[in-house]
């Protein structure tokens, strides 16, 4: 079966079991602004199907969560849920998709300079998915002609396996001279879609499996626990070296194949049991109530229902093979019920994408990723890049790497405080010896992020159970204090509560965090210092930039509130002290 191209956006006139219109969509539905039709005839023909979405309760600006309409307490107000502020659900220890926007860790023009000609070495010490790698490589200047070394490490095998598979798929597809837009679309689905077209799954298995299977055959008699390295060289001159233990190589090969006996319908039920769990309805309603527009709610609901990163109206026919890089076991979905592809990218940038279906958020994300991955693939062709992938706890990583070698080291938020994290002092102590010295490169930087620091200190304060800057929030949300007080379990009050991080005095509380963690003492002991002015990523990239009276301020607030970001994500850049 031939799959309808995603770009340009197709006519939305399709239903299962009926002929699909393969024409380009040109006129958007004036009601939801989520879908395009090639003309009035198709729009009229499809209306009995489309009105299920366009006229659904979720599409109304007056929509309210079920618990609010029923005048009852929500699920988290009592019992065990009342003692757990996050109440995650599903596989809460796996992060196969990013949860903060991708960053270009190099920013060559603002640092070494766009005319920089020396070799570059980058270390992603706790990488998570490939979004920061893609963003960084795709923004290397076209004039750069030297080699780039990219070292990628994560302690979670599933993360490393997917990163390796995506990179190998990209390189082998380029070697076969497949069109870059086609490769980019394949990467998007392998990365984010729960189900794949059969021909994409076959291409994955033939292109990547051809590289991995010989390694597994060669090590079958080796001792368990031994580390095995394999290096591939591609037509562009780039290389990829993968360092895994024997059992990890065998699991990697299995990650290319759908678990035995797992068909489309069973996989759909397994995923739905997490992301559409009946007991989580109140949580989903709470999230939807924060969305910037009713159409945003509809778009998020559609992705929950089918798990396909596509334009809202794009035909789903043919996406019937479970994605084996996600369904790695036959009985579970590998992420929690809040995991969202949007969380790994700047929602402002995604929202700026030009589309005839102006409110099709996931369609915009698809187009945005197609552009970003297209630029990334262009660089894989024009720049010689040496990838090295490891699957290690960051504490065990330094002995495998060269000292004084890296221009940039990015560590995600392993520097956050608490038993689940490595912490600032340990992280910097481990990794600074790997960073280039000031004599080698005055721009060499370690990039740390803190996702929980501000709220952690705020919760230690006397204001932890209060809503700070209430007047400012009410200005954005258009609610009166009397309305909130009259309904203490109402949706409006919870929306205010969920908004409080957006107007928190983040700088004050982060200063408190730095004092508690003794940043000054750490700096002195290690001979390092925080940059006074960041040159790679702004300190608060997700925070509100505008004040309420400024043009665009309301739209900015609504978009941030609807995102997975708190506005408290803080980036600190570290350099050697002079």
Residue of higher predicted confidence among 5 and 269: 269
3-state secondary structure of 55: coil
Cα diameter, the chain: 73
Quick: pLDDT tens for 321-347: 999 999 999 999 999 999 999 999 999
- What pLDDT score does 35 carry? 97
Co-location of 35 and 153 in the same domain: no
Helix (H) or strand (E) holding 149, with range, is: strand 148-153
Q: Residue with structure tokens 């408190």?
A: 512
CA nearest to 523, candidates 419, 432, 403: 432
Q: Please say whether the beta carbons of 420 and 155 come within 8 A.
A: no
Task: Examine residue 8 and state whether it is found in any structural domain, yes or no.
Answer: no
Beta bridge partners of 322: 195
Co-location of 537 and 515 in the same domain: yes
Task: Examine residue 4 and state whether it is found in any structural domain, yes or no.
Answer: no
Distance CA 130, CA 102 (A): 9
Distance CA 171, CA 158 (A): 20
- C-alpha torsion angle, residues 151, 157, 160, 161 (rounded to 10): 140
Q: Which string of DSSP letters, residue by residue, matches 243-283?
A: EEEHHHHHHHHHTTSPPTT--HHHHHHHHHHHHT-GGGHHH
Task: Examine residue 439 and state whether it is found in any structural domain, yes or no.
Answer: yes
Residue of higher predicted confidence among 541 and 17: 541
DSSP state letter for 462: T
As a residue count, the chain comes to: 578
Co-location of 265 and 166 in the same domain: no
Say whether pLDDT at 488 is over 80: no
- What pLDDT score does 4 carry? 63
CA nearest to 368, candidates 5, 3, 6, 4: 6
DSSP state letter for 343: G
Task: Examine residue 273 and state whether it is found in any structural domain, yes or no.
Answer: yes
Co-location of 217 and 317 in the same domain: no
Task: Examine residue 377 and state whether it is found in any structural domain, yes or no.
Answer: yes
pLDDT-based confidence at 85, cuts 50/70/90? low
pLDDT-based confidence at 2, cuts 50/70/90? very low
- What pLDDT score does 86 carry? 62
Co-location of 241 and 117 in the same domain: yes
Cis peptide bond upstream of 450, omega within 30: no
Helix (H) or strand (E) holding 429, with range, is: helix 424-431
Instruction: Tell me which of 369, 393, 412 is where a domain ends.
Output: 369
CA nearest to 286, candidates 568, 489, 33, 55: 489
- What pLDDT score does 578 carry? 81
Quick: pLDDT tens for 467-484: 778 888 888 888 655 566
Distance CA 27, CA 50 (A): 14
Quick: pLDDT tens for 133-158: 999 999 999 999 999 999 999 999 99
The packing angle between helices 361-382 and 131-138, to 10°, is 60
Query: What proportion of the chain, given as a percentage, has pLDDT over 90?
Result: 85
CA nearest to 200, candidates 189, 211, 192, 191: 189
Instruction: Tell me which of 369, 386, 419 is where a domain ends.
Output: 369
Q: Which domain holds residue 334?
A: 27-94+260-369
- C-alpha torsion angle, residues 15, 180, 256, 139 (rounded to 10): -110
Co-location of 156 and 79 in the same domain: no
Q: Please say whether the beta carbons of 192 and 97 come within 8 A.
A: yes
- What pLDDT score does 5 carry? 65
Q: Beta-carbon neighbour count of residue 374 at 10 Å?
A: 17
What domain count does the chain have?
Answer: 3
Helix (H) or strand (E) holding 470, with range, is: helix 470-477
Co-location of 508 and 538 in the same domain: yes
- Pairing mode of beta strands 120-124, 408-410: parallel
Task: Examine residue 145 and state whether it is found in any structural domain, yes or no.
Answer: yes
Question: Residue 550 — φ and ψ, nearest 5°?
Answer: -80, 150
Q: What separation in angstroms does the CA of 354 have from each of 39, 153, 186, 357? A: 20, 35, 22, 9
Quick: pLDDT tens for 511-533: 999 999 999 999 999 999 999 99
- What pLDDT score does 455 carry? 94
Say whether pLDDT at 250 is over 90: yes
3-state secondary structure of 528: strand
CA nearest to 161, candidates 276, 255, 243, 67: 255
- Pairing mode of beta strands 148-153, 120-124: parallel
Say whether pLDDT at 436 is over 70: yes
- What pLDDT score does 417 carry? 95
Question: Residue 469 — φ and ψ, nearest 5°?
Answer: 55, 45
Instruction: Give the mean model confidence (pLDDT) for residues 278-282.
Output: 95
Co-location of 537 and 501 in the same domain: yes
Token pair listed for 263: 């068909």
Distance CA 219, CA 53 (A): 53
Beta bridge partners of 233: 239
Distance CA 82, CA 264 (A): 36
Residue of higher predicted confidence among 353 and 5: 353
Q: What separation in angstroms does the CA of 477 have from each of 480, 500, 539, 558? A: 9, 11, 26, 9
Co-location of 558 and 504 in the same domain: yes
Distance CA 523, CA 537 (A): 20
Co-location of 331 and 409 in the same domain: no
Residue of higher predicted confidence among 558 and 4: 558
Instruction: Tell me which of 422, 445, 468 is where a domain ends.
Output: 445
CA nearest to 270, candidates 234, 307, 235, 225: 307
Co-location of 66 and 156 in the same domain: no
Task: Examine residue 205 and state whether it is found in any structural domain, yes or no.
Answer: yes
Task: Examine residue 3 and state whether it is found in any structural domain, yes or no.
Answer: no
Co-location of 321 and 462 in the same domain: no
Q: Which residues contact 220 (CB under 8 A, 6 or more apart)?
A: none
Quick: pLDDT tens for 172-195: 999 999 999 999 999 999 999 999
Instruction: Give the mean model confidence (pLDDT) for residues 229-250.
Output: 98
Q: Out of 161-165, 409-413, 488-492, pick the least confident.
A: 488-492
């Amino acid at each position: 079966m031939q799959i309808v191209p995603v770009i340009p956006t197709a006519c939305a006139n399709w239903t299962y079991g009926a002929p699909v219109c393969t024409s380009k969509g040109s006129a958007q539905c004036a009601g939801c602004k989520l879908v395009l039709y090639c003309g009035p005839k198709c729009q009229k023909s499809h209306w009995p199907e489309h009105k299920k979405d366009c006229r659904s309760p979720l599409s109304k600006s007056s929509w309210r969560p079920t618990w609010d309409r029923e005048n009852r307490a929500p699920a988290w107000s009592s019992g065990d849920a009342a003692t757990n502020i996050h109440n995650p659900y599903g596989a809460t220890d796996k992060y196969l998709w990013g949860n903060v926007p991708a960053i270009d860790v190099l920013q060559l023009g603002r640092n070494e300079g766009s005319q920089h000609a020396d070799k570059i070495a980058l270390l992603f010490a706790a990488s998570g998915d490939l979004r920061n790698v893609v963003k960084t490589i795709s923004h290397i200047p076209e004039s750069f002609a030297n080699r780039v070394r990219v070292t990628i490490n994560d302690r979670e095998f599933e993360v490393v396996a997917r990163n390796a598979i995506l990179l190998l798929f990209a390189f082998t597809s380029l070697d076969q001279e497949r069109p870059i837009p086609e490769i980019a679309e394949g990467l998007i689905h392998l990365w984010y879609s729960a189900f794949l077209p059969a021909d994409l799954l076959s291409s994955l298995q033939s292109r990547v499996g051809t590289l991995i299977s010989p390694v597994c055959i060669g090590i079958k008699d080796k001792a368990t626990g031994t580390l095995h390295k394999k290096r591939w060289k591609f037509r562009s001159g780039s290389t990829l070296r993968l360092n895994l233990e024997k059992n990890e190589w065998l699991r990697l090969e299995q990650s290319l194949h759908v678990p035995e006996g797992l068909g489309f319908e069973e996989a759909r039920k397994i995923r739905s049991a997490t992301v559409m769990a009946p007991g989580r309805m109140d949580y989903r309603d709470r999230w939807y109530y924060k969305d910037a527009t009713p159409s945003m709610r509809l778009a998020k609901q559609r992705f929950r229902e089918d798990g396909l990163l596509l334009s809202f109206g794009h035909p789903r026919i043919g996406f019937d093979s479970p994605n084996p890089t996600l369904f790695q076991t036959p009985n579970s979905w590998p992420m929690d019920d809040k995991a969202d592809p949007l969380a790994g990218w700047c929602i402002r940038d995604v929202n700026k994408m030009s589309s005839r279906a102006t409110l099709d958020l996931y369609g915009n994300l698809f187009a945005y990723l197609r552009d970003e991955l297209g630029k990334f693939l262009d660089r894989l062709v024009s720049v010689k890049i040496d990838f090295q992938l490891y699957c290690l706890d960051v504490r065990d990583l330094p002995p495998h790497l060269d000292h004084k070698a890296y221009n940039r080291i990015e560590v995600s938020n392993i520097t956050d405080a608490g038993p689940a994290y490595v912490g600032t002092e340990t992280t910097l102590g481990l990794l600074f010896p790997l960073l280039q010295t000031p004599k080698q490169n005055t721009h060499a930087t370690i990039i740390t992020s803190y996702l929980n620091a501000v709220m952690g200190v705020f919760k230690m304060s006397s204001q932890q159970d209060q809503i700070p800057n209430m007047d400012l929030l009410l200005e954005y949300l258009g609610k009166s204090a009397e309305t909130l007080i009259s309904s203490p379990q109402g949706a409006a009050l919870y929306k205010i509560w969920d908004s409080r991080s957006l107007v928190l005095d983040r700088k004050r509380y982060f200063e408190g965090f730095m004092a508690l963690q003794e940043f000054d003492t750490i700096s002195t002991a290690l001979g390092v210092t925080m940059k006074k002015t960041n040159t790679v990523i702004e300190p608060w990239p997700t925070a509100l930039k505008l004040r309420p009276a400024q043009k665009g301020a309301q739209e900015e607030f609504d978009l941030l509130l609807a995102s997975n970001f708190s506005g408290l994500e803080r980036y600190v850049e570290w350099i050697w002290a002079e």
